[in-house]
Structure 1
Amino acid sequence: MRKPKPPAMQRSRNQIATAYAPHSLFTFEGGRGACMALPWSNNRPIDLPQVTIRTIGEQVQEYFAAWAERARRGNGLQHAVPPELSVDRRVLVDDAVRVRLGEFAFQIPDNAGYVPFPLAFACGRCGLHRVCRDVSTLERDAERFREQCPTGASSCADDWEQLDVVLTHWSGEVEPVTPAYRRWSSERNDVVELDRCTNCNEDRFYLRRPPGPLAGWHFECVRCRFPRQLLQRDKPTLRALGPLLDGGTALPAEINMEPISYRASAAYYVHGDRLLVFHDDQHLGLLANTQIPALERLISARFGYPPSDLSDADKERLLIAAGRGDEWRNQADLIAILRMLEGQNVPEQMLDAQRRTIAENEAGWARTVFAAHGQAVPGIAAACRGRADYIRKHDPLRMAVEHLTFEEEKLRGGQMADGKEVSVDVTILDPFLRPDGLDEADLQRQRSASSTRLRLLGIEEMRLIRDVRMCEYSFAYTRTSSAPTVQRDKAGAAEMPVRLRLFERVEVADAAKHPILCSLQSNEGFYLRLDEAVVRSWLGENGILLPAADAGVRIGGQLIEDFEGLQRDPDTRFSRFLDEYRREGALTRRAYPFVYTLLHTMAHHLIDTCSAMSGLDLGSFGEHLFVPDLAILVYRRGATMDLGNLSSMWRDQGDPDVGNQVLERMLNPSSLRCGSESVCNRRGGACPDCVLIPENACLTRNELLSRSALVGRGRPRFDAPAADLVGYLQVANRP
């Protein structure tokens, strides 16, 4: 027989996917009546582009794999961590993580089911503890509670209070508070449960709740008053580690559950991610393992690498075959003139101009006529062939391909259905971004002032994007910790695995599938791209070297080569949780981490400024980095009706004298001051008083951030002892 369906509730989609996601604990308004949220079978399927579905599946696979790798390190433990204690056993095949996309249902989070939980109660007068085993028998069991009263059913106060404390464990299990106690029986090779008083065999207990910490709570036998500690052992962990207890290689602290209020955040953490939604798979398809040669050609051409194995004769042949032989003859003339001038007393500026023209011609041919020929330079080839081990959100090759797609779909994306431009340069503006009442002369002054401030910020291009499409989704949860490991005092320095668990299955078309709760959003955002020449100068002034490259190669290609070198070293690689960059003063200066920190800090600076000037809270923003292209995207998150905040903010803050107050505030030195200045500088120049934002809005949970990247006066936390940084804004402001 099927169990009756739980009741459903409606909340906002964001709430259903986060605060009320499956297996979360909550109370209704008024704080009474604790419940557990459950997956809901009747949520509608969401229509997503195939490239988005495929990407979500790949991200979930990578998330579980990275989680399992970190959770199973077992630092400080005397035994290996069983794989089923690190991740849900339903994603394990022969102890390896294998996420199967066909086992998921992509749903719109409109509704959630719920049941009362915990089903544990205490008498308000005497403290008698009662527990119901199943919600289906709750009403019948509750009617019998008074029959267990030590003073008799007729004199029972019948004043039952649902307990607001649960027992939970990092395995993901949560249970009502109970005097029952589990232990491992070596004789039976199984878990044994003791639910009676060991002194008199009574099965009724008072729950004593003295004021103060939960550690003071305990049970007391109704008959003999023998005390019983509030202690329970987690069943899945006890089954896995019970045999190790006798030999002393497993610690009781690894198995013991913890009492915690269900109102505390540690009772539940939802896990998910977000991604830009694209419709064109032309470039993104090159990220498949079978498309490595094509990816090498695309990246090489995009960042200005000339084909390394084409001789002049090959170039001439290919250009003639393409009907562009005149271009090669002009190039040959330019090279001949340059060689002649180099032996004469000609100003160096003239020679440099000639060299740039030659390099630009080569780069243009590399992107077009030569794109299908030749081999990538070793650094790019190694990155393209080794990217299978890269974490997706840190993969610079994926960033480069996403930026190219974003550029085609959004930056040059034409008009929306209402006639507005999808993308607008903030120095040019359109009728919807211009302040009211300005004549043409004032508008021209505003454009000029905005251009000046962008230059002083080291920004090459800044655009308002009106149609940033994002998909946010949640698919799993943990308890006691949002990280893959947790430490407790009673376990010493041991790091215990936190198990990442899938949402329980729902019925979808006669099949049981794990729900992935997805929300599609179309909001406004700001795109900005830094000035490459200023970035190169900033790196040079801080003694940070880029990999050697030919003239005409863009910095993005060099950053990709540098990233590939970082990934080969376990001390510098970009892991999912960036543990390598949490160590203080541990790493010498390399280009990619510093450019990443620069872009990330600039994104947070823009978010903080937009939050202050638009009235939106920091957590309502999101960010996306395109590191090789020196670009960032800051966008509004949320599915409410106030989606014009950013464009209205820009319009309202327009000023003929300063261009826009947003840019003026970003330039103001006080905007990057910190209330904990000296302490913040010593800790890397990033704290809640300055550039940190809520972790659920940040790409890296606030890692790889430092005000010093923008204004100097310190250095990032991971930087090995060295001189303070020269700030990017200091370099950009120089004549």
Structure 2
Amino acid sequence: MTNPPTMQRSRGQLATSYAPHSLFTFEGGSGACMALSASGNRTAELRPITQRMIGEQIQEYFEAWADRAMRGQNLRHPVPPSLAVDNRVLSDQAVRVRLGDLVFQIPDLVGYVPFPLAFTCTRCGLHREVRRLDRVAEEAARFRQACPTGAGGCADDWQQIDVVLTHWSGEIEAISPSYRYWDSVNREVRDIARCGSCESDRFYLRRPPGPLAGWHFECVACHTVRPILQRDLRTLEGLGPLLDQNQALIAEINMEPVSYRASAAYYPHGDRLLVFDQDMYASLLGAAQINQLESFIATTYGYPPTHLADAEKAALLQAAGRGAEWDNYVHMRALVEMLEAGGTTPREMIDASRSALTRLDEDWNASVFAGRQQATPGIATACRERQRFVRRFDPIRMAVEHETLLQEKLRGGQLNDGKEVSVDVTILDPFLIPDGLSEREVDRLRTEVRRRRDLLGISEMRLIRDVRICEYTFAYTRTSSSPTVKRDKAGDAEMPVRLRLFDRVEVGEAARHPVLCLLQSNEGFYVRLDEDTVREWLAENGVAVAPAVPGVRLGGSLIEEFSAIENDPNSRFSRFLDEYRRERTVPRQAYPFVYTLLHTMAHHLIGVSASMSGLDLGSFGEHLFVPDLAFLVYRRGMTMDLGNLSSMWRDRGDPVFGNEVLDRMVNPASLRCGSESVCNHRGGACPDCVLIPENACLTRNELLSRSVLIGRGAPRWDVVGAELSGYYTVAERRAEHPVRADVERP
């Protein structure tokens, strides 16, 4: 059918539940159909850099999928790329997704056709099927002529069969008594459509109560039973020759009966990214900007400038109008040296003076000397090797995105309605303060919010009123949402699940694969943890931080460590995090622990916010900025944002406890789990506590553990396995017994 009929649903549904190649029924549960790509959707208005970033993410997704699916563990043969990914992204057996082959569309409508075209008589169970869609009406009119009682006595009441045959290659077919086999003599695929006993081509479909495995066909003439059996055509063509050599398993080829209502019949695949106005920092990620990227990372994370003599520093500060600061610095440095040489001045006084000098150095490095830093070998290596990092775990990309977020959302600015783009929750604005409070009550409210923020080890928390996200889907799989699948009849073999693009649509005079984009602007919470608290938490749990020169922020050390981790096959951050699915295999390293800390706290905030805002867990999204010890939690949704999060914050404010959101997070009861002992044994993460729907989570619920927040266990991948000290415990201790900032760190 050249132009199938189309229908409208919400954009979110059309990008997921009704995306191309999905199966659905109309209201009332009758009339099963398959969705098809539609050419009538509008082109999404995306800036070129956003289109390029989506294209790069899709390329990486297919590459990672192919790499994982082609491992072929416990198979008797190598897995060809064509069984792992769509042929349309293969060029000379390598994955190549061309940006020009994609079209970015807003999903306003979807095409559909009836499917499956298999029917059964409601009275006798006679099976009938139609091979061609354009002949449905013509052939259906002749169904009664096949009735065993004769056309005159036929009930002529036909029901569409609600079970289909599907395979991890992505193929799906109507259930049929016909089945394929590999002809070893002629080396080709053949079909058997008739009864092997009497050559009849009519069968009853018997559907006894219970599992689908009990369904079978029965010959109308001789009542010979035939099981529901079909072999995937594409896989049979590829592996048929290997069957003759006993190098392939029949279980690799057999299709499976499944209800078209079951999720196993269709899994959409997509991703998301933050959308910004500026591309100044994002452009640093280009291959030609390596030197500038190194300088940006070095400046951002406080690496000291190299080869700057005192005279050069003095000249730069003088030119910036800050010459007096240099004079004071020189006098203080000389005084410290004299006091140290004297040997009678208390150590605390000398340390306090040295801390003051360090703060001046850090300030100058981030301002006057910015751009003159030379990256250490670790940073230089990370910047040059980051092309092999998985994008969503790449700390350098996170650093660039965080700086862009800082410039566009966190440093002031107003929306068209006059509201601030972002507001610190310890300061608030008129739209976030509960009604009817006196000035004194507002001051008390702010004090209590600040106190609970400190108890959580949070350095900064802001409400952002314009978080722009692009979520998109571009491909699908069947039987499994992951790159491999296991079946009992195949033993320990992992069979490749094939990732397939949506079929092309006509765009002008070209045909391109649609990428269905959902552009959103919603509210969110930005949270940044206190660096000193994170350092103390790591040290208390025996997690060493990569050494760095004084003044370098923890993020710099994390970036250097991540580059080293990527060379370790047991702890690298692969696309599907297989390394962190195994128990007691990963040593205690700072980057995985900080990632798990941020990720778990983001889920904790999502859980508390969901319980108070009226939004469900799947209505939230998250984004992590590991080097900056920060994360972003935001509302996902294509419906109008009615200020769910800002209203929640305002309505939950109270001078007695500041805000109920933070008060609930501080309360240990908020992380109690109904499966406590079982959950702790499995690493401290389950649906009863910190898990959220997989489509809302960055990692499909990997790298999560309550233990990083409250102790009582350890992540399942932690090779030590000893009980952790929780981050909240460390933060509470620091909040109640603060250490003087001027002597805390050398």
Q: TM-score, normalised by structure 1?
A: 0.98
Q: 2:684 maps to which residue?
A: 685
**Does residue 499 of structure 2 align to residue 500 of structure 1?**
yes
| d(CA) in 2 for partners of 1:721, 1:363 | 36
Shift of residue 35 of structure 1? 0.6
Corresponding position of 1:200: 198
Distance across 2 between alignment mates of 1:540 and 1:89? 50
Match status 1:393 vs 2:392: yes
CA displacement 1:617-659 (0-9 Å, x = unmatched): 1110001111111111110010213431111111111101111
Q: Which residue of 2 aligns with 1:70?
A: 68
**What is aligned with 2:743?**
none
In 2, the alpha carbon distance for the partners of 1:314 and 1:567 equals 38
- Which deviates more, 251-260 or 180-189? 180-189
Indicate conservation of the 8 Å contact 2:306/2:372, yes or no: no
- Whether 1:290 aligns to 2:288 is yes
- Superposition deviation, residue 218 in structure 1: 1.2
Report the AA paired with residue 694 of structure 1.
P
Q: 1:52-78 CA distances to partner (integer Å, 9 max, x unpaired)?
A: 111100100000000000000000001
* CA–CA separation in structure 2 for the residues paired with 1:273 and 1:370: 38
CA distance in structure 2 between the aligned counterparts of 1:195 and 1:429, rounded to whole angstroms: 73
SS state at 1:405 partner: helix
Residue 533 of structure 2 contacts residue 730 of structure 2 at CA under 8 Å; is this kept in 1?
yes
Partner residue, 2:741 = none
Out of 331, 350, 370, the residue aligned to residue 333 of structure 1 is: 331
CA contact (8 A) 2:588 2:720 kept: no
Structure 2 equivalent of residue 576 of structure 1:
575
> What's the offset of the Cα at 1:374?
5.1
Query: What secondary structure sits across from 1:569 in the alignment?
Result: coil
Question: 1:626-665, aligned counterparts within 5 Å?
Answer: 626-665=625-664
- Aligned counterpart, 1:351: 350
SS at 1:723 equivalent? coil
Which moved further from structure 2: 208-217 or 571-580? Answer: 208-217
Paired letter, 1:458 = G
Match of 1:84 in 2: 82
The match for 1:114 is 112
Q: CA deviation at 1:312?
A: 4.4
| Structure 2 equivalent of residue 250 of structure 1 | 248
The aligned counterpart of 1:440 is 439
Structure 2 residue 684 is the aligned partner of structure 1 residue 708: no
Displacement after TM superposition at 1:456 (Å): 0.6
The answer to whether residue 406 in structure 2 is matched with residue 407 in structure 1 is: yes
- C-alpha distance in structure 2 between counterparts of 1:241 and 1:510, whole Å: 38
Output one character per residue of 1:12-32: Cα deviation in whole Å (capped at 9) or x when no partner. 000000000000001111111
Cα RMSD for the two superposed structures = 1.5
Change (3 A) 1:356 1:79: same
CA contact (8 A) 1:691 1:707 kept: yes
1:187 alignment counterpart: 185
Tell me how far 1:666 sits from its aligned partner: 0.6
Distance between the aligned counterparts of 1:636 and 1:139, measured in 2?
Answer: 47
CA distance in 2, matches of 1:342, 1:19: 71
Alignment partner of 1:458 is 2:446: no
Once the two structures are TM-superposed, the CA of residue 219 in structure 1 deviates from its matched residue by 1.2
Name the structure 1 match of 2:98.
100
TM-superposed CA distance for 1:387, in Å, is 0.6
Which residue in 2 is equivalent to 1:11? 9
Q: Is the Cα–Cα contact under 8 Å of residues 51 and 279 in structure 1 kept in the other structure? A: no
What is residue 616 of structure 1 aligned with on the other side? 615
Query: How many angstroms does 1:587 deviate by?
Result: 1.5
Aligned to 1:724: 723
Distance 2:85 2:655 in 1: 57
1:670 aligns with 2:644: no
Change (3 A) 1:616 1:221: same
SS of the residue 1:35 aligns to: strand
SS at match of 1:274: strand
Q: 8 Å contact 2:303–2:373 — kept in the other structure? A: no
Q: Which runs of 5+ in 1 are unaligned?
A: none
Cα offset, 1:721, TM superposition: 3.3
Q: How far apart are 1:363 and its partner, in Å?
A: 3.0
Determine the structure 1 residue equivalent to 2:149: 151
Alpha-carbon distance in structure 2 between the residues aligned to 1:251 and 1:723: 43
Paired residue total:
733
Bigger Cα displacement from structure 2, 182-191 vs 632-641: 182-191
Whether contact under 8 Å (2:208, 2:214) holds in the other structure is: yes
SS of the residue aligned with 1:14?
helix
Residue matched to 2:360: 361
Cα pair 1:51 1:278 within 8 Å, conserved: no
By how many angstroms is 1:321 displaced? 6.9
Match among 142, 151, 162 for residue 160 of structure 2? 162
Give the secondary-structure state (helix, strand or coil) at the position aligned to 1:733: helix
CA contact (8 A) 2:298 2:373 kept: no
Give, in whole Å, the separation in 2 of the partners of 1:719 and 1:481.
28
AA paired with 1:607? I
Determine whether 1:561 maps to 2:560.
yes
Once residues 366 and 115 of structure 2 are traced to their aligned partners in structure 1, the CA distance between those partners, rounded to angstroms, is 61
Alpha-carbon distance in structure 2 between the residues aligned to 1:308 and 1:226: 86
TM-score, reference length from structure 2:
0.96
- Give, in whole Å, the separation in 1 of the partners of 2:367 and 2:404: 17
The verdict on how the C-alpha distance between 1:319 and 1:447 changes in structure 2, with shifts beyond 3 A counting, is closer
**2:512 counterpart of 1:548:** no
| Cα deviation 1:158-197 (Å, max 9, x = unaligned) | 1111000000000000000011111112333221122122
Residues 403 and 474 of structure 1: is their aligned pair in 2 closer, same or farther, counting only changes over 3 Å? same
**CA distance in 1 between partners of 2:288 and 2:418 (Å):** 41
Unaligned runs of 5+ in 2: 738-746
Distance 1:151 1:505 in 2: 46
- Of 30, 33, 36, 2:31 maps to 33
